[in-house]
Each structure stands twice: as structure tokens, then as C-alpha cells.
A and B are shown apart, each in its own frame.
Chain A
Amino acid sequence: MKKSSKRKRKARPAELSTDLLTKQAEEQFAGARYKDAMQSYKLLIGRERRPEWIVALRHAYLARAEELAAKDMIKEASALWESMAHLCQSQDGLDRYLHWLLQSGRYERAARVLSDASNEFQDSAAGRDVAACLGVLLLGGKTELKGALPSDAQLDSAAAALRAYCAGDDEEMAAYLKRLPYRSPYRDLRPIFQALVKTQTCGGEAGTQLKKLSTDSIFTPLSTLIGALDLPEDRLLNQMRGLKPEEFQLFAALRGWDSTQIELLQKVLELKSSKEGVSLKALFRVLADYRQVIGEAHAQRMALALLNAYPDGIKAYDPVFKTLTVPHRLRIGALRNEQNDDPEEAVDLWYRCVDSLQQEPESEHNRLASALILRHVAKLKRAFMAPFEWMDEGLNDLGRSLEFDPTDKDTYLEMVQILEHHGREKERDRWLERAVKHLPEESDIILAAANAAYRRGAFKKAANYVDALLARDPINRQARGLLISCHLAHGRKQAVAGKFRHAVKELDIAMRHAKDEIQQGSVELTRGLVALAAGEEGKAAQWLEQGYQHSGGSAAADLRIIVDGRRIGISNKKLQPQLEMCRTKGRQDFDRADIFNFTDLLLRYRFEGVRFLTEIVTSLQKPLRKAAAFDYSLQELQSICEAFAEIDAYLPLGAYADKALAQAPGIPAFVYFDVVAKNRGRRRISNSDRGRLLDAYERAENEGDFATMERIDQLFESSGSFGAMGPVSGFPPDLGSVLGEALESMSEAEFAELAAKVFGDDLEQLFEPLPVPQRKREKKAHRPADDSGSEPPRQDELF
């Protein structure tokens, strides 16, 4: 027995009771099942012609017709409307029906339906639109409408105006347009023709005319077309995409394009409308085929630029344009390797490109290109080299680039910064000398040279640099600060030598340059200290008190008195009472500004080579840590942390790094500062901190934070945990296997010794959390393979 025969048969609609069928029809309509609803209502009407069912049937028909029209089934939609009109004796939705007729090309039928429609409909906006549309179609060549449309004087006027416009008779055109009454369906042609006339003379006025059109006018697309005539090139093409071929012809005619331009633009629009879009290959083809229309020079430049992303076009480029030079070939190859994530191969090709460019060493263009390439290479190498490895390589590339382009300020400054950071001062000074020689008027270079001279104690030379700089740039605050520092330093030098009169003279000069209270305060404090060294305690107290007040009291002034006092050679015993006296009159707590002044001064002293800063900061750690509670931006916190890290002031460093990590967890620079502070500069780092540093390194690498990468790298290097850097890029890719082989050949005792060296006290911690069997396996894995037939350890397990 068949399974289906067991089921209860669903009742057919015709078998349903009227109530049930009504309910079903309503549900079908509500559920947008219009076709089913139509059938149900037709059955119901067959039983009884109730008016509400007829209305419901009409709605179902119209809704279904709209549904079909939305799917571009216009003919089917029209047929449904016709059925509805017959079944329900209704003209509902006549405007939609007329639109569908027009859309499906049944113009004659549309004209007849319109003429049979009620006067009310003919006089409505929808009716006038259809009439205008049919009129325009008749003028446009749909002659079949001639018999279907009644003779229309307004249409004749519109046609005459159009003929007059095309013939260039603007007066006649205006006269015909004036004949169109206000309610004429062709009334909107007035601003259209007036705008067309204006496009030839003044594009802006055309826009004013077009604004007179209502947005729902049937002439809106034509108005948009006219408005697009003066669009900038990048918007023009998109606008043209929406044009029909007939509209494009008009657009081209109005723009005055010739046949070759039209052919090119049609080709491009065709490409743009294709599903695949415009591929690089197709674009290259357009450039090659239409280079004369586009313009030879422009086409060649575009094709060359295209080759950077489309190297396959090189073969086609040579015969069409001109043979690509060797440097260009190498350059394109290098860029391709960069795109393919092979920077090492790219670097090789860039070097070859430089060599090739140097075949014509006298060419200024080639020299500049070589310099730019070498700078690019230095940047590229940063991406795949460890910081310590990059330094010499990068400096070499940058230095070589300056041979070709010796006036690049940024490269000098970058090199100076790197060399200074790594304490290679002699090299730094050599590069600075070259920089000053080539760029004697460049403020940043002169300032860098002055700072370097100051740092090596050549105060007069530094002052000369800064004097020259201030003569050109008198409001350079950094230069002024440095000049004052130079005179103060020279004054201290004289005081140390017991030449107090000379010292005072220098301080007088410094005072003349001081422009604000802080600068004046620093001179006054030094003056007080010189007086103290000269034994003039009364004067000293006066100057120090004055200077303390001008310096804003508090942290920075304390620091200055202690550091400069010591540098002049004043004993603590002599200095302390003066400091206490100042402190009683100054503020006890630090505010935000004090912290910035203090850290700026710390860095300045560090830069000047002052060595005893840590102990001074340690003595001030309580108020410094308290001041960490203020609000700081991450950038401010970074500057503060850098200053404390620089002088190994771990307690305040920890407080500020903690604050930053609470604000923005995981930021690599602050993770580094936190680890350094926590370990108090000790070389040995715990496993958990090593893990944090490795994560921070990876994040810094992703974010391009090279400074933090370098710091972490140096910390690892100094902690001797080189082996822990396995995952860090920049190490040889085969490092694991090399070390693996080395470890394999070690005896257990040798291995234990090495492990103790690398992991120190953390060795136990390293193995402690492991379950015993695994620990045994780990230990076994570190032993050399024996002859027992067990498998040798996998090399990657060694790390």
C-alpha cells in the first residue's frame, strides 16, 4: 500500500466553504502570495459577486502586476492590469499601466488608452506626463503615434523651438517656447533649451536654468545630462556610465568630441560596465590602442606607471611605446618582489638598479634616483632585519645615499640620531660636519651640530653655532635654550677654575638671552651657586631664592641646585642649608607641569653626561610617585617613562608605566618599561616577563614601533637570553636547527651548565609547572641520542 494514500487529502480551494476560502484568500494576500490570492478571490466572486471581494481581487491583481514589473516582466504586468480592468471594471492604476505600455514599446496602445481615459486623468499630472512623453516620442521618430495622438499646437511649438535651437536661431527658439502655456506638458522644455544655449557660453548659468525644473519632471534625466557637461573628469566618467547610447551621442555632440574620442570613450564605458570591471591588462590595452587619442606622452607615462603593478605588460610595452631601460626593468622587478613579500630579493634588485643608474654617474637625475633607492632600501631592510643587524647595514645605505644627494636634511638627522643613540659619537660628529658643510643654513642641522658640540664640552663652538642660527631665526626657542645652557656651562667651567669674574661675565650674557622666567631662574640659580663657590653666602642666598621662585620652585629647581652645585664643586655641607632655605619658601608637592620640567631637565643633564642623577631622583621618589596620579596622555607618559628609564630610576618608572598600562593595556613601549622597572635593571628576566616582552615585540613589529623593538632586543641581548628569541623575526631562519645540532652534540653536564647560564634561577621555574612524565620527556629530549634505538629529538622541540 502506498504511503501517500494513507494521508488525509487536503481540500481543494473549490471544495472549501465560503468562510474558509475568504479566510484563506485574506491570508494569501497578507502573506504576499498574490497569485494564490487572485485565484481564491476569483472563486469567491464565482460564487457571489460581493463588492468587497471585487476590491480585494483588484488589489491582488495590481500587487501581482507590480511584482512582475519589478522583475522586468513588463508585458506580463500589462496583461494582468488588462485582466483586472476587465474582471473588476476598474481603471485603478492606469498611470502604472501606461508606464508599462511605454516601457514595453506599445506607444500606440498607450496613446489610445490615454485618449480614452477620463478628462480628469488626462488633466492630472500623471496624464500630462504621459502626454508629454508620447509627444516627445512622436517627435523622436515614433511615427506610428501620428494617427493615435490628436493634433497638438503645444507639441508643434515645442518641435519648432527644438528645430530653431539646433539651427542656432536662439531668438526664434525663445519665441516658440514662450507660446507654451503654464500647464503645458512641454513647459519644462523652456529651461532645458535655455540651459542648452547657456552650455555653449557659460556653464554656470546653465545650472541656474536647470534648477527651475521640478525633480519629478520627465525631463530630469536630460537635465542631469546637461548638468554633467561641466563636471570634473573624475566624476564625468561615472556620470556617463548611466547614459543610454542615444544620450551618449547627444552628450558627445554637446562636448564637441570627435569620432576617435567617442570610440575610445565608448570602449571604456563598455569595459566599465562589464562584470569583470577594468582589469590592468584591459587598461594597458586601451593605452596601447588609443595612445594617439590619449596623447603619446600621457599614455606612455600611464603605461609605465601601470607596469609597477602589472609587470606582465613589459613584453607588450617595448614594441608599442619604447624599449624599457635596464634601471626601469630592475625597478619594476624590485617592486614586484616587494608586493610578493620577498624584500630580500627586492633589495638585491634595487642595488642592481643603483649600479645600473651609475653607468651615467654625471646625470643629476640618476644620482638623485640612486639616493632615493638607497634610502628606500634602508627602510625595506628594517622590515626583515633584527635591529642590531640593521644598524650597520642601514647606516651604510643611508651614508651611501648622501654621496649621491648630499643635501638631504632628513637623512643626516636620522643618521645622527641612530649614531647618538648607540654612542658612536665620533661618527656622529663626522656626519654632522658634512651636514653643516652642505646645509649651513638649515636650522635643524645647526641645532644638532650645536647640541653635539655642547655635549662634548665645546661650549664656545656650540654657542657660535646657535648664535648664527638665532641671527636668522630669533624666535627659535630650542636654540635660545641651548645658547643659555652654553653660557651657563662656560660660566660653571670658569667658576670651577676659580675665575669667578669671568664666570659672572658669562652669566650676564646668559641673562641677556633669557626671555622667560624659567630661563631667568636657571641663570639666577647658577649665579647663586657661583656666588656660594666664591664664598659670598649672602649674595648666594639672595640669587638662589630668587632663582628658585622664578624656576617655579619644586622639583626642577631642586634638581638644578643639586646637580649644578656639585658640578661647580660645592660640598653637600655647604649646599644643603641653602637648599633647605629655598625649599621652605617653595612648594612641597609637584604638579603636572613640575613633572614635565623635571623630566626635561633630567634628560638635559643625562645628555650633558651627568652621572649621579639616579640618586637625586631616588631622594625625590615619594612626590614623584604621588604625581603619577595626575591625568597624562599616553604620549606624555611615554616621555616621562623614557626619562626615568634613561637614568635607571626604576621606582618612579614603574609607577608611570603601570599608569599607562592601566590606561591602554599591552602597549609595547610600556610593557618594556614595566618589565625594566619590575626587574630593577637586573639582567635576569623571569619567564613570564620574557613572554610579555616577546608579545610586546611582536606587537611593536606589527605597529612599526622600531624603537621599542630595539629596546627589547637590547634587553634580551644584555640578559643573555638570546635563545629565547626564537620566534622573533630577524634571526636566521635556520637558527633553530643550528642550535639544535649544537645541543644534540652536548653531554648532559654541558647542557645543564648552558641551561643554568641561560635561564639562571628561572631554570626550576621553567620545568616546575610541567607534569612529571612530560618533564622527563623534556629532559630526555635534551640528551644526545643514545644507541637504544629511540628516536632522536625533533629539533624544534629544543626551543
Chain B
Amino acid sequence: MNDPYSILEVAESASDEEINSAYLRKVREYPPEQEPERFQMIRDAFETIRTVKDRLHYQLFCQVPPDLESVLAPVLRRRNARQRPTEEVLLKALAASVLKVKKTQQQ
């Protein structure tokens, strides 16, 4: 994911305070000592959109196109009520997955 807004899970219209809170929330979620790479990504995202000027700078000059993960972030993040699958769906998936392991073992 390379879009700083998606990384911090904030809207483009977020204020400095909102971005700051989102950053702190993310750092708590991914502490640097446990997830150094992810923390660095979060830190970079925060530095990129920290102030109004930073955000405008990013909007004006960023030449890196958003990646697929950034494009789909809201869809993947959407927390729909989790459901139980139907018997048919679960059994088919179960059957497909056990056959998968056989293939993997062989390879």
C-alpha cells in the first residue's frame, strides 16, 4: 500500500488533529519494536500528510501512482457483519483446501 491516507485510514479532508490521532492509533497497533517495517510505512505516511502544506505538496507533486491495495483499501477495510457460511460453501471450500495440501506436499 502506498497511499498515505489509506495507510493511516483517514479521509482526504482529515484535519491535522485527526491525522495525528490516526498516526498514534496505528503506532499503538503496530509498535516499532514488533513490526519495524510496518511502523516505518506508517511513519512515512504520517510525514507525507502531516500538515496542510504537506498534504497539498503530496497532491501536487506525487508521481507514484496508487497501487491496487490503496485503491481497494475502503472495500477491504469495510467491516460488514460477519456471517456463517452455508453448508455447501463450507464443504466445497473444505474439499478444495484438502486437495490443495496434497498438491503442495507433492511439490
Task: Convert B79-107 into 0s and 1s, putting 1 for each residue whose CB lies closer than 8 angstroms to a CB of A.
Answer: 01111111111111111111111111111
Nearest-neighbour CB distance to chain A for B105, whole angstroms, equals 7
Question: Does residue A103 face the partner (Cβ distance < 8 Å to B)?
Answer: yes
Question: Does residue B48 face the partner (Cβ distance < 8 Å to A)?
Answer: no
Within 8 A of B (CB), among A248-262: 249-250, 253-258, 261
Question: Is the CB–CB distance between B65 and A233 below 8 Å?
Answer: no
Question: Is the CB–CB distance between B102 and A368 below 8 Å?
Answer: no
Within 8 A of B (CB), among A114-157: 132-133, 136-137, 139-142
Cα–Cα, bound, A797→B43 (Å): 55
Question: Does residue A439 face the partner (Cβ distance < 8 Å to B)?
Answer: no
Nearest-neighbour CB distance to chain A for B59, whole angstroms, equals 8
Q: Which range contains the number of B residues in contact with the other chain?
A: 35 or more
Cα–Cα, bound, A217→B104 (Å): 12
Question: Does residue B14 face the partner (Cβ distance < 8 Å to A)?
Answer: no
Cα–Cα, bound, A667→B82 (Å): 61
Question: Does residue A305 face the partner (Cβ distance < 8 Å to B)?
Answer: yes
Within 8 A of B (CB), among A338-380: 338-339, 365, 368-369, 372-373, 376
Cα–Cα, bound, A500→B77 (Å): 76
Q: Report chain A residues within 8 Å CB of B78.
A: 257, 261
Nearest-neighbour CB distance to chain B for A627, whole angstroms, equals 41
Question: Is the CB–CB distance between B97 and A70 below 8 Å?
Answer: no
Q: Which of A36-44, A220-228, A686-694, A726-734 is the contact stretch?
A: A220-228
Question: Does residue A302 face the partner (Cβ distance < 8 Å to B)?
Answer: yes
Question: Does residue A705 face the partner (Cβ distance < 8 Å to B)?
Answer: no
Question: Is the CB–CB distance between A305 and B89 below 8 Å?
Answer: no
Question: Is the CB–CB distance between B63 and A268 below 8 Å?
Answer: no
Question: Is the CB–CB distance between B63 and A102 below 8 Å?
Answer: no
Cα–Cα, bound, A100→B106 (Å): 9
- Total A-B Cβ pairs within 8 A: 198
Q: Report chain A residues within 8 Å CB of B3.
A: 302, 305
Cα–Cα, bound, A220→B107 (Å): 16
Q: Report chain B residues within 8 Å CB of A272.
A: 68
Question: Is the CB–CB distance between B87 and A137 below 8 Å?
Answer: no
Task: Convert A277-296 into 0s and 1s, putting 1 for each residue whose CB lies closer than 8 angstroms to a CB of B.
Answer: 01010010011000001110
Partner pick for A250 among B66, B69, B77, B93, CB 8 A cutoff: B93
Cα–Cα, bound, A339→B62 (Å): 12
By beta carbon, the residue of chain B nearest A130 is B102
Cα–Cα, bound, A768→B6 (Å): 67
Question: Is the CB–CB distance between B80 and A103 below 8 Å?
Answer: no
Task: Convert A229-261 into 0s and 1s, putting 1 for each residue whose CB lies closer than 8 angstroms to a CB of B.
Answer: 000111011000000111101100111111001
Interface of B toward A, CB cutoff 8 Å: 1, 3, 5-6, 11-12, 38, 52-53, 56-57, 59-66, 68-78, 80-107
Interface of A toward B, CB cutoff 8 Å: 69-70, 96, 99-100, 102-103, 132-133, 136-137, 139-142, 162-163, 165-166, 168, 196, 199-200, 216-222, 225, 232-234, 236-237, 244-247, 249-250, 253-258, 261, 264-265, 268, 271-272, 278, 280, 283, 286-287, 293-295, 297-299, 301-302, 305-306, 308-310, 331, 335, 338-339, 365, 368-369, 372-373, 376, 405
Q: Which 10 A-B pairs have the closest CB atoms?
A: A140-B95, A256-B80, A250-B93, A234-B1, A221-B97, A246-B96, A253-B85, A309-B65, A233-B76, A246-B92
10 chain-A/chain-B pairs, Cβ below 8 angstroms: A103-B99, A103-B106, A136-B98, A218-B101, A236-B76, A253-B89, A283-B65, A302-B71, A309-B65, A368-B56
